[in-house]
Amino acid sequence: MTDLLVLGAGPAGVAAARTGAARGARVTLVERGGLGGTCVHAGCIPSGALHRTVAVLDEIRGAGRLGLRTGPVDADWGRMQAWMASVVERAVAVTRASLEAAGVDVVAGNARFVGPGRVEAAGRTFDGVPTIVATGASSVVPRGEAAGGEPVLTNDGAMALQEPPGRLLVAHGARFGLEWADLFNRLGSQVTVLLDGARALPDEDADIAGFLQLTLEQHGVRFASKSEPADGDGVLLFADSRVPNTAELGVDAAGIEVGAAGEIRADGECRTSISGVFAAGDVTGPPWLSNRARAHGVAAATNALGGSARVRPERIPRSVNTHPELAAVGLTEEQAAARGIQAVAGFGELATSLRGITLGEDAGALKLVVEPETGEILGAHMVGVGAVEVIAQVAAAMELEADYRDLARVQHLHPSLAELVTEAIASL
């Protein structure tokens, strides 16, 4: 017997299954592909492995300024892919072990709604069982976008390249596209990012995103308007274009409401238009973040089993895994102003961070956005070494609803990048 049915074993589905099991439910998890979903097989895990390689390559090439003598060093794409594959294999094993330890029944196969609250999956029928749809999204080339005659790749295709392209055109200037632009640029490709608007990452803080764009330009990445004529032939990459995986789910038969892009519409508690059916992660549409998917999965399972949980999108951090890396959580100053909030911002500069200086990574900054009268932390935005870890501290404070002045009382180790938070608060 099954108390909770989960469709999809990506970050959302795994989080939902483990949460359900921890609450004492008998959980059945159905997955038609590999455990871990896009994140593990064609997303942040393999991408992170490749970025680790080029980060080490950069460190070796710049080791002379730290007092080291090094010889010629270069990347081997075939060995990089072997390294990537080994990381993916280990991530799958970790995912499988976590599900086994939780007592989740993992079933391989397809799943489809055949009526409201009725699912056929892997030769079994589940009727009236609380169900969480966590089937993710797939990389696609947007309709009508590949009309220029260039070879076209999706994010999945970039993972499978036999060698770095000689020339790469990256569409849109969003998160995943910038990551590939940075990676292939460092491997010797001639890279141009085709922007939809005036700058990359238009939803991120203008100062922080602008610094990242400028740094990538200094490293050799070219930025141009998508309306400009292409300068020569190249491979065209659509890394940020995805479509939620709902086409084969039978959502019409279930009466589940979907949006124009096929995404399942769900509220802050992950409830869909059908009682007993919940949706979590990329199947609900962007932003395509694994930690967002995990948060959805936890909330969906909690609510499906009679608990109470709600996802707070403004408290979910996000990142761009370039070098330097960018990370953020919450609102920018502009977004706060659009909501009628009188926000102020404080800065912590890596140029004055003794930890940044000793690492030889002193370019970048942290911006902290707060509401001065109430003390509410509205957001934080950083570009530079350690940005992901520094932002995690602010995200934790936001989740605990701490006053920014409370955060100032935290005594950090010295020297550390975490001291940037203290510096940003002191500058307010």
- Token pair listed for 92: 């799958």
Output phi, psi for 325, to 5 deg. Answer: -85, 155
DSSP-H helix ranges across 283-408 = 290-304, 333-338, 354-359, 387-399, 404-407
Helix, strand, coil: what percent of the chain each, to 5? 40, 20, 40
- Using an 8 Å Cβ cutoff, are 353 and 414 in contact? no
Rounded distance between C-alpha atoms, residue 167 and residue 182, angstroms: 13
Instruction: Please list the active-site residues.
Output: 414
How far is it, in rounded angstroms, from Cα 331 to Cα 310? 19
Instruction: List phi, psi (to 5°) of 171.
Output: -80, 140
| Cβ–Cβ < 8 Å for 426, 410 | no
Alpha-carbon span 5 to 360, nearest angstrom: 50
CB neighbours of residue 118 within 10 Å:
17
Q: In angstroms, rounded to a whole number, what is the distance separating the alpha carbons of residues 169 and 159?
A: 16
Q: Where are the beta strands (DSSP E) in 205-321?
A: 222-225, 235-238, 242-244, 277-279, 318-320
Q: Is the dihedral of CA 115, 117, 121, 125 positive or negative?
A: negative
**Per-residue b or e along 201-212, where b marks 16 or more CB atoms closer than 10 Å to that residue's CB:** beebbeebbebb
CA distance 79 to 311: 40
Q: What is the rounded CA–CA span in Å between residue 106 and residue 122?
A: 11
Q: Report DSSP letters for 381-406, one per residue.
A: EEESTTHHHHHHHHHHHHHTT-BHHH
d(CA 49, CA 280) in angstroms, rounded, equals 26
Name the token pair of 309. Answer: 């949980």
Which single residue is written with the structure tokens 């993972």? 159
